[in-house]
């Protein structure tokens, strides 16, 4: 991670390296098991795709789609499930795969919701963690990068559905926000 002219940046190379390290740890933790990776849409789809390709254990994938931001840069705190899981998690080893943990409100809601569905185990893997913004405790087991309190885009993270396609993660400037 670097602070470059134009703002904060996590390079494509740094992301690839860290995703491989996370996959190695998850593979070790789930050796002999077949975890269900639950990607949180839309932001985590790129991270999840890269992560699962690096796993050395068989894994299944499902998705939850939620909304708590809309077209704002701050979470509303209200979580809406837009798409629920297709598969039951009961008795399964489940890993929630999230792009970023910010206030923790959305992830805490999802964690508590999935816990009620009786998985054998439930862990969280987040590419980015903004610990300084945390409002509620949430057990993040695997963290790619701890990041400062900036609005970040790229590698699946968006603002108003833009910037997801970037192969790196960067700060979105206030000027860019105004122009969207």
Would you please indicate which residues are annotated as catalytic (active-site) residues? 102
The long-range contacts involving 8-11, CB below 8 angstroms and separated by at least 24 positions, are: 8/147, 8/148, 8/150, 8/152, 8/170, 8/171, 9/168, 9/169, 9/170, 9/171, 10/145, 10/147, 10/155, 10/168, 10/169, 10/170, 11/168
Q: Which of 125, 122, 120, 121 is nearest to 140 (CA)?
A: 125
Q: Tell me which residue has tokens 């968006």.
A: 158
């Amino acid at each position: 991670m670097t602070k470059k002219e134009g703002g904060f940046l996590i390079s494509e190379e740094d992301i690839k390296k860290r995703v491989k390290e996370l996959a190695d740890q998850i593979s070790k933790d789930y050796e002999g098991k077949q975890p269900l990776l639950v990607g949180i849409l839309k932001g985590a789809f790129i991270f999840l795709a890269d992560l699962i390709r690096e796993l050395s254990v068989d894994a299944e994938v499902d998705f939850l789609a939620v909304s708590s931001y809309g077209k704002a840069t701050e979470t509303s705190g209200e979580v809406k499930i837009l798409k629920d899981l297709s598969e039951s998690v009961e008795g399964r080893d489940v890993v929630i795969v999230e792009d970023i943990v910010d206030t923790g409100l959305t992830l805490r809601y999802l964690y508590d919701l999935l816990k009620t569905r009786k998985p054998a185990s439930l862990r969280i893997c987040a590419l980015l963690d903004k610990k300084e913004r945390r409002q509620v405790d949430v057990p993040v087991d695997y963290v790619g990068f701890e990041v400062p309190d900036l609005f970040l885009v790229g590698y699946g993270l968006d603002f108003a559905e833009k910037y997801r396609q970037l192969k790196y993660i960067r700060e979105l400037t206030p000027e860019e926000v105004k122009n969207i």
